[in-house]
Amino acid sequence: MKNKKLSITWAIGILFMMLSPSFAKDVSLSWGTSTGATGYRIYCQADNPNPPFPLCGDTRNTSTTHTVSGLNDNKSYSFAVTAYNQYGESPYSNIVTEKTTVVPAPDNNSGSTTGSGNPLTGQTEITDAWKKVTLSRSFADPIVIVGPPSYRDAAAGVIQLRNVQSNSFEIRFKEWTYLDGKHGSEKVSYLVMEEGRHTMSDGAVWEAGSFYLGSSGNLTNQVFISGLSSTPVLLLTAQTSDDGDKPVMVRAENLTSRGFSAGLFTQESLLGSSHAQEKVGYLAISSPYQQGSVIANGTTQQYLLGKGGIASSFVQITEDFAYRLQEDQSKDAETKHTPEEVCALMVGSAHFAQPVTMNEKDTIVVRHVEGSWNPSKTSYLGLRRGSTWYLKGTNSATAAAVTLSFGFGDVQSTDQVFAGDWNDDGVATIGMRRGNTFYLRHTNSSGPADQVFTFGQSSDQVVIGDWNGDGVDTIGLKRGNQVLLKNSNDNSPADLSFGYGWQTALPTDVLLAGDWNGDGVDTLGLKRDNLYCLRNSNSTGDPHVYYNYEQAADVPVVGDWNGNGIDTIGVKRSDTYYLRNSHSSGAADITFKFGEAGDAPLSGKW
Most confident of 328-337, 346-355, 502-511: 346-355
Query: Residue 384 is inside which H or E element, if any?
Result: strand 380-385
Q: Residue 108: is its pLDDT beyond 70? A: no
CATH class of segment(s) 380-604: mainly beta
Give percent above pLDDT 90 in the chain.
61
Instruction: In whole angstroms, give the CA distance from residue 575 to residue 27.
Output: 81
| Amino acid making up residue 231 | T
Distances in whole angstroms, Cα of residue 510 to Cα of each of 54, 417, 507, 526: 64, 14, 8, 5
Instruction: In whole angstroms, give the CA distance from residue 445 to residue 280.
Output: 35
pLDDT for residue 583: 95
Instruction: In whole angstroms, give the CA distance from residue 417 to residue 431.
Output: 6
Q: Residue 73: is its pLDDT beyond 80? A: no
pLDDT digits (tens, 9 = 90+) for 347-368: 999 999 999 999 999 999 999 9
pLDDT for residue 281: 98
Q: What are the backbone angles phi and psi of residue 296, rounded to the nearest 5°? A: -130, 135
| Strand pairing category for 131-134 and 168-175 | antiparallel
Q: Which residues lie below 8 Å from residue 53, measured CB to CB, with a gap of 6+?
A: 43, 44, 45, 78, 79, 80
Question: Rounded mean pLDDT of 161-176?
Answer: 97
Helix (H, G, I), strand (E, B) or coil at 269: helix
Q: Which residues lie below 8 Å from residue 325, measured CB to CB, with a gap of 6+?
A: 310, 311, 312, 337, 340, 355, 364, 365, 366, 367
pLDDT digits (tens, 9 = 90+) for 183-196: 989 999 999 999 99
pLDDT digits (tens, 9 = 90+) for 559-574: 999 988 999 999 999 9
CB atoms within 10 A of CB 518: 11
pLDDT digits (tens, 9 = 90+) for 470-497: 899 999 999 988 999 999 999 999 999 9
Phi/psi region, residue 169 (left: phi>0; alpha: psi -120 to 50; beta: rest), is beta
Range 126-164 burial, b when 16+ CB lie within 10 A, else e: bebebeebebeeebeebbbbbbbbbbbbbbbbbbbbeeb
Q: Residue 397: is its pLDDT beyond 90? A: no
pLDDT for residue 502: 60
Q: Residue 369: beta bridge partners?
A: 322
At 16, the pLDDT band (50, 70, 90 cuts) reads: very low
Q: Residue 142: is its pLDDT beyond 50? A: yes
Is 380-604 in the same CATH topology as 16-99? Answer: no
pLDDT for residue 20: 30
Instruction: In whole angstroms, give the CA distance from residue 475 to residue 437.
Output: 11
Q: Residue 300: beta bridge partners?
A: 295
At 500, the pLDDT band (50, 70, 90 cuts) reads: confident
Distance of CA 61 to the CA centre of its chain: 33
8 Å CB contact between 345 and 302:
no
CB atoms within 10 A of CB 385: 13
Q: What is the 3-state secondary structure (H, E, C) of 92-104?
A: CCCCEEEECCCCC
pLDDT for residue 168: 98
pLDDT for residue 326: 94
Give this prediction's pTM.
0.67
Instruction: In whole angstroms, give the CA distance from residue 241 to residue 248.
Output: 9
Q: Which residues lie below 8 Å from residue 166, measured CB to CB, with a gap of 6+?
A: 138, 139, 140, 142
8 Å CB contact between 205 and 228:
yes
Instruction: In whole angstroms, give the CA distance from residue 349 to residue 302.
Output: 10
Which CATH architecture fits 16-99?
A: Sandwich (2.60)
Instruction: In whole angstroms, give the CA distance from residue 245 to residue 243.
Output: 6
| Segments in 303-385 forming alpha helices (H) | none
Q: Residue 307: is its pLDDT beyond 90? A: yes
| 462 or 103, greater pLDDT | 462
| 599 or 28, greater pLDDT | 599
8 Å CB contact between 370 and 340:
no
Q: Residue 208: beta bridge partners?
A: 196, 283
Nearest to 401 by CA among 387, 416, 373, 381: 381
DSSP letter, residue 251: E
Q: Residue 596: is its pLDDT beyond 90? A: yes
At 556, the pLDDT band (50, 70, 90 cuts) reads: very high
Question: Rounded mean pLDDT of 264-269?
Answer: 94
Find the range with the poorest average confidence among 20-29, 242-251, 296-305, 579-588.
20-29
Nearest to 65 by CA among 94, 32, 34, 105: 32
Nearest to 304 by CA among 343, 275, 366, 347: 347
What's the maximum distance between 2 C-alpha atoms anywhere in the chain? 93
CB atoms within 10 A of CB 241: 23
Burial level of 106, CB count in 10 A (0-12/13-18/19+)? exposed
Each domain of the chain, given as residue ranges in start order, spans 16-99, 120-370, 380-604
pLDDT for residue 115: 44
| Amino acid making up residue 55 | L
Question: Rounded mean pLDDT of 9-34?
Answer: 50
Q: Residue 524: is its pLDDT beyond 60? A: yes
Q: Residue 27: beta bridge partners?
A: 16, 68
pLDDT digits (tens, 9 = 90+) for 36-61: 888 898 988 888 888 888 888 888 88
pLDDT digits (tens, 9 = 90+) for 199-210: 998 999 999 999
pLDDT mean across residues, the chain: 88
Question: Rounded mean pLDDT of 221-227?
Answer: 92
